[in-house]
Amino acid sequence: MNLKILSWNVQGYGHWRFLPTARQFLRDSRPDMVVFVEPRISGRNANAVIASLGFPNSHRVEAKGFSGGIWVAWYDSIDVEILINHFQFIHCRVTQRNSDKVVYATTVYASPSSTGRKHLWPLLRNIAASSRSPWILFGDFNATIHSADRKGCASSSTPSKDFQKLLVDFGLRDMGYSGLDFTWSRGHAYARLDRFLCNSYWDEVYPVSSVQHLLRLRSDHRPILLNVGHTMDRIPSQHFRFFSGWLNHDDFSRMVSDNWIPSSSMATTLAHFTMAASTWNKCVFGYIGMKKRILMARLRGIQRALATRHSSFLHNLKSALLIELEKLLDEEELMWKQKSRTDWITGGDRNTTYFHRRAQARKQRNKVTALHTTAGILCDDEPSLIMEAAKFYTTLFSKG
């Protein structure tokens, strides 16, 4: 089974910047299933957010006012059957499309109070006791297992014995992680509250599974990502384009004045300008993906440093880099909006994934994969297609 699951305590969708941040995580990780907890919205507002993120399927336990809430959303690569609904968890069966492989998944958003969590542990024990198939248990447990899972927290904050007993009694394994140690931080306090666990049946069927702690953005919690056998494709860029986003860049006017040669012929001027603009685009504006990765790497480094020591300079630098990242996300959205040739965007809300899909769909529609020659013969290899196209336009423009 190829499966990716992203789990994130978003701590509210009230700020419009959460949507582009969520879309960035979706583009980078390409999950099959996503779990958002503590969204702090419900009803029609929740429907609008899920739709804007491009999910065809979803299920949720509604938030109660500004507390709680679990959203499970998934793409058509998998089928999800909800088995148990609870205020603190959702238990479901996950099947890969066109496959007989089935796993069980329980996503948790445990109560912030120890009294509330007392009601959760017996229910999770019941699920664990009945599991005879690969099963994962994951999410925000609002509790830790080991003393090393906390740093700088109140002295009264100790590992949960009920949580420890759940793992020991049913042979559950913490699936580990790569990345920074702690998934939650506030001020100088750090804790690993979010994790993936699995049973022995999972280890027998899927012995190679990895978990990543992603960059912490716009929430006190990091997203955590389970990866079981997925690979990522890259789509290379090709032709020269003039993007309206260039007009918003501070250096664009200078680049035009430096590279526009009015004394030459129009053909020479355009050839020189397009070459210069392409180079400028790549160096200054075009490598948005690379710039985002560099910014995120710097933010990861800052967060790693802040986990070991307090620094006002690093806190200020982190804020400045977040503003720079948000500007890049705006530029990227404008680029994909133009590429998709659509004006489907309102009220500052981004939908870069939507624009990207529209642009790729248009590219597929415009692609010529086969032609009939004047002799009525079908050709579909690239050299023949190029030759036939050249012959057609040579004949067309030589007439009259």
DSSP 262-275: TTS-HHHHHHHHHH
Per-residue pLDDT reduced to its tens digit, 149-158: 999 887 556 8
The pLDDT of residue 127 is 97
The answer on pLDDT for 132 being more than 90 is yes
Q: Which two tokens stand for residue 320?
A: 């400045």
Note the pLDDT of residue 339: 58
Query: Rounded CA gap, 159 and 182, in Å?
Result: 14
Give exposure, 265-292, as e/b (b: 16+ Cβ within 10 Å).
eeeeeeeebeeebeebbeeebbeeeebb
At 40, is the pLDDT very low, low, confident or very high (cuts 50, 70, 90)?
Answer: confident
For the chain, where do the domains classified as CATH 3.60.10.10 start and end? 3-228
Q: What pTM does this model have? A: 0.64
Separation of alpha carbons 21 and 350, rounded Å:
10
Look at 12-21, 43-52, 160-169, 309-318 and tell me which has the smallest mean pLDDT. 12-21
Query: If DSSP codes are grouped into helix, strand and coil, which group holds residue 381?
Result: coil
Distance CA 282, CA 113 (A): 51
> 10 Å Cβ neighbour count for 382?
9
Cα–Cα distance, 273 to 280 (Å, whole number): 10
| 40, 57 contact by CB (below 8 A) | no
> In degrees rounded to 5, what are phi and psi of residue 69?
105, 130
Q: Cβ neighbours of residue 258 under 8 Å, at least 6 residues apart?
A: 276
Q: 253: which residues sit within 8 A by CB, 6+ positions away?
A: none
The tokens describing 376, both together, are 């009525």
| Residue 216 vs residue 368, higher pLDDT | 216
pLDDT at 358 over 80: no
What is the three-state SS of 21-77? Answer: HHHHHHHHHCCCEEEEECCCCCHHHHHHHHHHCCCCEEEEECCECCECCEEEEECCC
For residue 400, is pLDDT > 60? no
Q: How far is CA 156 from the centre of its chain?
A: 36
A 10 A CB-CB count for 195 gives 23
Q: Cα(115)–Cα(113) distance, rounded to whole angstroms?
A: 5
pLDDT of residue 109: 96
Per CATH, the homologous superfamily of domain 3-228 is: Endonuclease/exonuclease/phosphatase (3.60.10.10)
What was the pLDDT predicted at 342? 47
> Distance (Å, rounded) from C-alpha 199 to C-alpha 172?
5
Helix (H, G, I), strand (E, B) or coil at 152: coil
pLDDT at 344 over 70: no
Instruction: Output 234 or 262, whichever has higher pLDDT.
Output: 262
pLDDT, residue 396, reads: 67
Supply the Cα-derived Rg of the chain in whole angstroms. Answer: 26
Looking at per-residue pLDDT, the higher value among 96 and 315 belongs to: 96
Say whether 146 sits in a helix, a strand or coil. Answer: coil
The sign one gets for the Cα dihedral 345, 348, 354, 355 is positive
CA 10 to mean position of chain CA atoms: 13
Residue 112 CB contacts under 8 Å (≥ 6 apart), including other chains: 142
How high is the mean pLDDT of the chain? Answer: 81
